[in-house]
Amino acid sequence: MPLLEVTDLKSYYGDFQALFGITLSVAESQTIAIIGANGAGKTTFLNSVIGLNSEKSGAILFDGEDITHVRADRISRRGIAMVPEGRRLFPSLTVEENLLAGTTTRRSGLWTLERVFALFPALPAMRDRLAMRLSGGEQQMVAVGRALLANPRLLLCDEISLGLAPKIVDQIYTCFDQIRATGISIILVEQDIARARVSADHVYCFLEGRISLQGASGSLDLRDISRAYFGT
Amino acid sequence: MLWVETVINGILLGALFALFGIGLAFAFGIMRIVNAAHGEMIVLSAYVAAMLLQGIHVNAFVMIVPVAAIMFVLGYVLQAVILNRVLGNDPIPALMVTFGLSIILRNLMLEFFGADPRSINAGPIQLLGINVFGISIGVLPLLVLAIVVVLLVVFRRFIRVSGLGRTLRATADDFQIVQIFGVNYRRMYCIAMGIAVALSSVAGLMIAMRTTYSPFTGVDRLLLAFEVVIIGGLGSLWWMLLGGFILGIAELVSLQINPNAGLLYAHLVFFVVLMVMPSGLSNWRRVA
């Protein structure tokens, strides 16, 4: 049984329909990537899964249970966490407080503050600084650490590389190998196709709210991807 | 000596004004709701204390704990039943609802308790005074100031250090993102409103020991709360305390000059401060 099973998901913002029947699944310990242009519905998809977008139809099963119309705070307590687009750190909280904000899911597991600090050795020295004073890359580490401290079974990552220098992105993705080794399942939303293919087992390409291409990372041809990406 | 005494007593009174403002500002800071019924809740706390004191004969100060607990529950319920229904980007619906509520509360209090001004008897302590270098200071106001300072220190520690305080601050920053970390933000709003009302209600109870209250005093209390917030600058606890001191001193000094002035001079001081420093004391260098 897959950990997450989404069937015919349609999402709306008022009169505007953003997703037109998405069906996909994530197995235990699997990493999938979702790629696509701006406005393809990637962020809407993640927000719908975690419950931040409530205008939706279809079925979302997590660990066999229907969570389609469950509130976001309850979904996160069941074991889904997210690194939101643009990080969305809490501006008036320090680095350490931002990380601890992840623990309000009250889930026990591998991840503790010490372990997150071990994963990102740059962070302990700035634990008492306001999170917004950090560089973009450091902020992204805090956002990832915060999500890990929720001890999720499924981690949603929304455009981690957005606006960061390639070298910083490399560092963060290196850490992802360690995160994946803990057996967690991950959905990566990426605009960087090459990185998505390297990091994920399975790639889905979204185009205007639909899946335009999918397959195991190795099996996809770059030309097919570019066609599915731009819809040409 | 009379003037020194007046200033000191003004500070002691101002500490209570500060608590009115801090409760109002806390609710606004967490959920961007201006509670126009704040003043009536403060007055209600005095009636609640008076009712309890009729049944249980203890010193009025003992009532601080049960009154704070009762007012916390009332604030929590107010948020859960009414205010959580009008959340949104538009602050007007919440303002309208609480404005309506203030009218309802005022008239309910009038119906149940009558229009006569009342006062809470704090017992023999009310008449005690101590002499410091020839200045006589009442024991009651000193005790009140001590309670306010302890309350503020505990409140600040709770907000800064405790896990719930951290979650409240995070909710104020981004109510959407806290949800993906297991936080029911509507419940946090209820807790915040409960704390806000309870905090100001303690002040409402204590001010009823030194001045009178009636169902109509809520308006004055709310006005003072607003002035404290505006003079002190939103979100700065100690500046708001200073704002309260200024208003308290202005009120007592003006009563010395003209016993019929009431709050007139306090409002005038507020007006002048607002003209000179439009962003409040804590931001006086910044232009509004």
Q: Across all residues in chain B, what is the average pLDDT?
A: 90
Q: What is the DSSP letter of A209?
A: T
> d(Cα A176, Cα A198) in Å, to the nearest integer?
12
> d(Cα B96, Cα B89) in Å, to the nearest integer?
14
How many whole angstroms from its chain centre is CA B115?
A: 22
Longest dimension (CA), chain B: 61
Tell me whether A85 touches chain B (CB under 8 Å).
no
Give the ipTM of the model, two decimals please. Answer: 0.93
pLDDT of residue B235: 67
pLDDT higher than threshold 90 for residue A223? no
- Stronger pLDDT, B279 or B209, i.e. the higher one: B209
From chain B, pick out residues whose CB is under 8 angstroms from the CB of A80: 180
> d(Cα A36, Cα A208) in Å, to the nearest integer?
9
Evaluate whether B42 touches B205 at the Cβ level (below 8 Å).
no
Smallest Cβ–Cβ distance between B182 and the set A90, A93, A106 belongs to A106
Interchain contact, B179 vs A73, CB within 8 Å: yes
pLDDT of residue B282: 67
- Please tell me the pTM assigned to this model: 0.92
Smallest Cβ–Cβ distance between A93 and the set B166, B179, B184 belongs to B166
pLDDT digits 0-9 by tens, B39-62: 999 999 999 999 999 988 888 899
Main-chain phi, psi angles of A153, to 5 degrees: -95, -25
Residues of B with CB under 8 A from a CB of A: 163, 166-167, 169-170, 172-174, 176-185
pLDDT digits 0-9 by tens, B86-111: 998 888 999 999 999 999 999 999 99
pLDDT digits 0-9 by tens, A61-101: 999 999 999 999 999 999 999 999 999 999 999 999 999 99
Q: Across all residues in chain A, what is the average pLDDT?
A: 94
pLDDT digits 0-9 by tens, B198-240: 999 999 999 999 889 999 999 999 999 999 998 887 767 888 9
pLDDT of residue A186: 96
> Of the candidates B84, B108, B67, which has an alpha carbon nearest to the alpha carbon of residue B30?
B84
Tell me whether A91 touches chain B (CB under 8 Å).
yes
pLDDT of residue B36: 95
Average pLDDT on B130-152 reads 87
Would residue A14 be called left, alpha or beta, if left means φ above 0 and alpha means ψ between -120 and 50 degrees? left
SS3 sequence of A47-95: HHHHCCCCCEEEEEEECCEECCCCCHHHHHHHCEEEECCCCCCCCCCEH
Evaluate whether A189 touches A157 at the Cβ level (below 8 Å).
yes
Residue of B nearest to A149 (CA): B181
pLDDT digits 0-9 by tens, A120-172: 999 999 999 999 999 999 999 999 999 999 999 999 999 998 889 999 999 88
Interchain contact, B179 vs A93, CB within 8 Å: no
> d(Cα B247, Cα B11) in Å, to the nearest integer?
9
pLDDT of residue A52: 95
pLDDT of residue B284: 54
Would residue A80 be called left, alpha or beta, if left means φ above 0 and alpha means ψ between -120 and 50 degrees? beta
From chain A, pick out residues whose CB is under 8 angstroms from the CB of B167: 101, 104
